[in-house]
Amino acid sequence: MRHAHAWVFVTVLLLTPTVVASAQSDADSGSATTPGSGAFARWEISLGGQVGVPRGFVKVGEFDRSGDKLRFSKDLGIDTFEVANVGAAVHLTDRDALRARLDYSFLWGGTQLDRDVAFNGATLAGDTHLQSRPVYTRITGLYEHAFISEPNGALLAGGAGVTFVYLHFKLHGTLAPTTIGHETQEDFYAQELPVPLVSLRGEYPIAPRVRLIAIVDGGFLPKLDSLRTEGGTVKLAQGHADVFAGVRYAITPQLFADGGFSYTYFSQHETSGEDNNEILFLGYAFGFGLTYAL
């Protein structure tokens, strides 16, 4: 893990004992707080993260200057990625909830270029160092309804909502003497639209304190008018998919720890008379988190 990102995970680790201590006082009550157990928690607060390996590419062109397809690992030196997230939920009933989550992804890296590369109309010089520092944030909101909610903790819930990505892809490097353009960043966020999502979540108890948990969500926008203009009408296509499969452990009746495999898919393609920009991000990671119900 890169030192520049370590503060995120240190923060989570420092907060964990505090949350555990505050929740421990509820441990003797014996009252369950999850849906389907009789009583239910009104609120949930969660902290989590991911550490994994990215795949994919970014390609940014300007006018007649087509950008190079820059692969995250091979071309940009982005060999790992980290995600920090915070979430909250309010339960309207024991079967209905509103959920929100904020994710920040560290898709950072550096490499020594072995050739000139084209990005957003600029040419970055070969045999120089290049750093990638995109600002990649996502906010998601969902309404969720539990179709199955058993006293033993078995749960099957579905939901619908929207997600919005703020992506500002920034490269820091040395321009080639022959470059025409000089901008080495692309504001993907300027063309973003909220993307509709559907979700499915299941839990199945395998021991008194242990459950299997699986969460799937996804959505897409076909190529459509983004309602923006940049050298003409900007057409936008975008897709999302997220999968988590793992284990949930009840530390106390109010505090839960999750861990397991996480997969992320994100694609965006925008075209206009001026731009032809595309990004594909595939993330394979270990995901972890803490949820406190109150």
Among 1-10, 173-182, 240-249, 267-276, which range has the highest average pLDDT?
A: 240-249
Q: Distance (Å, rounded) from C-alpha 192 to C-alpha 113?
A: 30
- Per-residue exposure over 150-171, b if at least 16 CB sit within 10 Å of its own CB, e if not: eeebebebebebebebebebeb
Q: Are residues 66 and 276 in contact, defined by beta-carbon separation less than 8 angstroms?
A: yes
- In sequence order, the 6+-apart residues with CB closer than 8 A to the CB of 67 are 59, 60, 61, 118, 119, 120, 121, 276, 277
How many percent of the chain have pLDDT more than 70? 87
Q: How confident is the model at residue 49 (pLDDT cuts 50, 70, 90)?
A: very high
In this predicted structure, the answer to whether residue 240 has a pLDDT above a threshold of 60 is yes
Neighbours of 148 (CB within 10 A): 13
Question: For residue 238, what are its two tokens?
Answer: 């975008």
Over residues 60-65, mean pLDDT: 80
Lowest mean per-residue pLDDT among 101-110, 193-202, 227-236: 227-236
Q: Quote the CA–CA distance of 273 and 257 in Å, as a whole number.
A: 49
Q: What is the span of the domain harbouring residue 109?
A: 3-293
Instruction: Give the pLDDT score at 13.
Output: 45
Encode pLDDT of 163-191 as tens digits. Answer: 999 999 999 999 999 999 899 999 999 88
Task: Count the domains in the chain.
Answer: 1
Cα–Cα distance between 159 and 36 in angstroms, integer?
Answer: 17
pLDDT at 1 over 90: no
The pLDDT mean for the chain works out to 88
Task: Specify the pLDDT at position 29.
Answer: 43
pLDDT band at 66 (very low <50, low <70, confident <90, very high): confident
Nearest Cα to 176, choosing from 130, 231, 219? 130
Q: 249 pLDDT exceeds 90?
A: yes
**Higher-pLDDT residue of 154, 8:** 154
Lowest mean pLDDT, pick from 18-27, 39-48, 249-258: 18-27
Q: Residue 59's pLDDT is what?
A: 95
| End-to-end alpha carbon distance in the chain | 33
Q: Is the pLDDT of residue 18 over 50?
A: no
- Confirm if 73 and 107 have CB atoms less than 8 A apart: no
Q: What is the mean pLDDT of the segment spanning 47-62?
A: 96
| Surface-to-core class of residue 176, CB atoms within 10 Å of its CB (0-12 exposed, 13-18 middle, 19+ buried) | middle
Res. 16 pLDDT band, cuts 50 70 90: very low
Give the CATH number of the domain where residue 197 resides. 2.40.128.100
In the chain, what's the furthest Cα-to-Cα distance? 72
Of 50-64, 100-114, 235-249, the least confident: 50-64
Can you give the pLDDT at residue 11? 53
